[in-house]
Amino acid sequence: MDIREAQKLAWENKLAKGFNTSDVALEFGLMTAEVGEAFTAWRKKKEDFGEELADVAIYLMAIAQMNGINLDDEVDKKIRKNVDRVYQRNENGTLIRTPKA
């Protein structure tokens, strides 16, 4: 399944179940809670870690849908953009994006 199809199916489920489809701030809050649950699942090595990550993705897709964003296209563009970026470590070891030579 690609991101576009997942976004469509996640949105259709929200509509069918009567979940939030208009309050973007609420959706960000709910997604933040899911990030916390995913972190806890990872930290405690719980079996549902993947499911918690999926919950985060589903909330993200809903936010994209509420704002008319095709997340599939945006992820593709961002990955292509990131490939061309150049980074160097500073004196503290932190990676800093640098202009291409």
pLDDT tens digits for range 36-89:
999 999 999 999 999 999 999 999 999 999 999 999 999 999 999 999 999 999
Whether 21 contacts 66, CB under 8 Å: yes
Q: Which residue segments constitute the domains of the chain, with CATH numbers given?
A: 3-98 (1.10.287.1080)
What's the CA gap between 59 and 32, in Å, rounded?
Answer: 9
pTM of the model: 0.88
DSSP-assigned letter for residue 45: T
Contacts of 55 (CB under 8 A, 6+ apart): 34, 37, 38
What's the CA gap between 80 and 67, in Å, rounded?
Answer: 22
Other CB atoms closer than 10 Å to residue 67's CB: what's the count?
10
